[in-house]
Structure 1
Amino acid sequence: MSAQKKDELLAEAVRLREQGHPEQAREHLLSLTATFPDAADIAYQTAWVHDVLGLEAEAVPYYERSLQGDGLTDEERQGALLGLGSTYRVLGRFGQAVETLRRGVSEFPDDGALRTFLSMALFNTGEHHEAMRLLLHLTATTSEDPQVQRYRAAIEYYAADLTQTM
C-alpha cells in the first residue's frame, strides 16, 4: 500500500471518529495498524479512538508505540503525551501518569492542559503542594477574570508555598 493511500485511509478513520462513529473508526484503525505496525501516527489515532470508546487499557500500548521514534508532529506528540498520562491516571497508574505528564510539560511548557493533568496526577500521588502550585500558577497566568488578575501577584506568591504568610 502506498504512503498516499495510507494517509487517505488514516484521514478517513479520523473523520469517522470526529463525526461520532468511533466504532467504525476503530475498525479502520485496527486494520491500518496491522498493515503499518510501526506508523506512529496510526498508533496515536488508534490510541485516541480507544480512549473515546472508554477502552483505556487497550489505548495504552498504542500511545506507547506512538511515542517511540520520530513519527509524530509536535501537535500529535503533545496529544499523545497528554492522552497517555491521562489514561495512566484513569487506570490508577499514578506514578506512570506523573512521569509521562512531567515529560509532556518539559517538552511543551506552555501547554496548560498538560500542566492541569499533571496537577491531577500529582494529587493522586499525594504531592498536594506541587499540584496546588501548578494550578495556582496556571490560574494566575492564564485567567482573564479581572478579579484573578487583580490578585495575581498574591496568587503567584502563595503558589510558591501555600504555607507562607506575608
Structure 2
Amino acid sequence: MLDLGTQSKSAKYMKAVSLSRLLCAMLRQHKSIDINLERKIPLKLSPMKPEQYQHYLSHAIKEYAKDKVTAGTWSQDEAIALSTESFTRLLPQGPDTKDNYLFSILPDEHAEPIGTLWLNVAQEKAFIYDFEIDESYRGQGYGKQSLQAAEQWALQNHLTEIGLHVFAHNQSAHHLYKKMGYVETDISMVRHLPADDPMKDVDPVTSTGLDQQLQHLIAQRETARSTQDTELLQQCLHGLKALQKEAPNNAMIHYQIGICFDNLGFTYDAIPCYKLAMTLGLPNHDLRRCFLGLGSSYRVTGQYAESLATLEKGTNQFPDYKPLQLFYALALFNTQQFDQALAQTFTTLLPDNQDPDIQYFAKGLQFYASHLDEQWSPDRYDEK
C-alpha cells in the first residue's frame, strides 16, 4: 500500500517522480527513443466495477491503516477511523470522483484482477495514490508491467509526470520504483523516543520568577516579530533556551521556542518544538495556535500529509478559529483537492466579511462554493 498522497511519514519519507516527463518531451520533439512505447504489455488496466470498488475499499482502508500504524503516524486505536476518513475525503463519489481513475489490473481481458491501481490527475501530472499486486502474484514481474501500463496510459492522456509517495518500511516497493526510473525528491526522518524519557518526571515551571521571565520573553518576541528585528529574535531564542534548561517539561517554553524558530525562518527546527509542546499539554488558546504553527510548518517544508492531518485535527477541535480553517484550505490545495480548498476558503471568509458589495452576493457565493462543478439547464423565457 502506498502512502495516499495525503502524503505521511515514517522513519523515511520518499516522493518519486517518473521519467515519463522526459519521454513526453522526446516524443513531442519527434526524437527517437530506445524503448518502444507502443509495445504490447500483457496487462490491461480496466476501470473498476462498482462491486470491485466495494471490495477494494474495504481492503484498502485496512491496509492503509496498518501501514500508518507501522509508520508510527497513527495509533492502533484511531487508525481505522482515520483511514476511513481519508478515503471518504479523497473519493467522495467513489470510483466516479472527478480526476480520479481506479483500475483493476488484469493479465488479460477475461482473467480475474491480480491487483489495483489508483491514479489522481491534476495539471498534466498523474499521482499514484495506491498501487498493489495481490500477494500470490508478486515476484512475477507484474509490478513492473503495471507501472509500464500506467506510463502508457499517462502518455496517451498527454500527461508529463507520474509521482508517488512510498512508506519507508516498504523496501520491496522502494526497490521497484527506483528500478523503474523513479527518483527520490525529498526525505524526512523521525526518531521515536523511548518510553522512559527522562523528561517525563520533570516538574513544569511553577516559579513566579521563571514565569515572569517567560512572559517578558514572549512580549519581546512579539515585538521582534512585528518589527522583523532578527537580532532581538535571536536574543529571545537564547533566553527561552535558558529557561528550557531550568524547566524542560514546560509546554509553553517549547511552544514559544517553536514560534521563535518559525519567526527566524528555521522551520524544520520549529516542528519538534510544536509537537513536544502539544504532547506536554497547552491551554486551548495556545493549543489552537500550535496546531496552526505545526500544520503550516509541515506544509512549507513539503510534508503535505502531516500538514493536512494536523490542520484537519485542529479545525475539528477548534471549528470557530478561522485562521486554522484558512491554513487547512492551503493544505487541501497542496494535496490537489482544489474544489475543497476553494470551498473552504469561501465558507470561512464570507460570513464575517463587512464589504457591502460582497455581502450582497454572499448567499449566492456560499451556495456556489459547495457546488463548484454543477451546471444548470434553466428554462428559456417564452414571451407570449
% identity of equivalent residues: 29
CA distance in 2, matches of 1:145, 1:77: 31
- In the alignment, does 2:26 pair up with 1:26? no
Amino acid at match of 2:345: L
- In the alignment, does 2:282 pair up with 1:79? no
Higher strand share: 2
Residue in structure 1 matched with residue 262 of structure 2 by the alignment: 51
C-alpha contact 1:16 1:24 (8 A) present in aligned 2: no
Residue in structure 2 matched with residue 140 of structure 1 by the alignment: 350
- The structural deviation recorded for 1:165 is 3.0
- In the alignment, does 2:218 pair up with 1:14? yes
Q: Deviations over 1:74-130 (max 9, x none)?
A: 111111011111111111111111111111111111111111111011101101111
- The structural deviation recorded for 1:69 is 3.8
CA distance in 1, matches of 2:349, 2:260: 30
CA distance in 2, matches of 1:127, 1:67: 27
Which of 303, 306, 311 is the matching residue for 1:101?
Answer: 311
Which of 151, 163, 166 is the matching residue for 2:373?
Answer: 163
- The structural deviation recorded for 1:2 is 5.1
Higher relative contact order (CA 8 A, sep 6+): 2
- In the alignment, does 2:207 pair up with 1:3? yes
C-alpha contact 2:236 2:260 (8 A) present in aligned 1: yes
In the TM superposition, 1:31-42 aligns within 5 A as 31-42=242-253
Amino acid at match of 2:342: M
CA distance in 1, matches of 2:243, 2:340: 41
Residue in structure 1 matched with residue 302 of structure 2 by the alignment: 92
Deviating beyond 4 angstroms after TM superposition, the runs of 4 or more aligned structure 1 residues are none
- In the alignment, does 2:123 pair up with 1:123? no
Higher helix share: 1
* TM-score, L = length of structure 2: 0.42
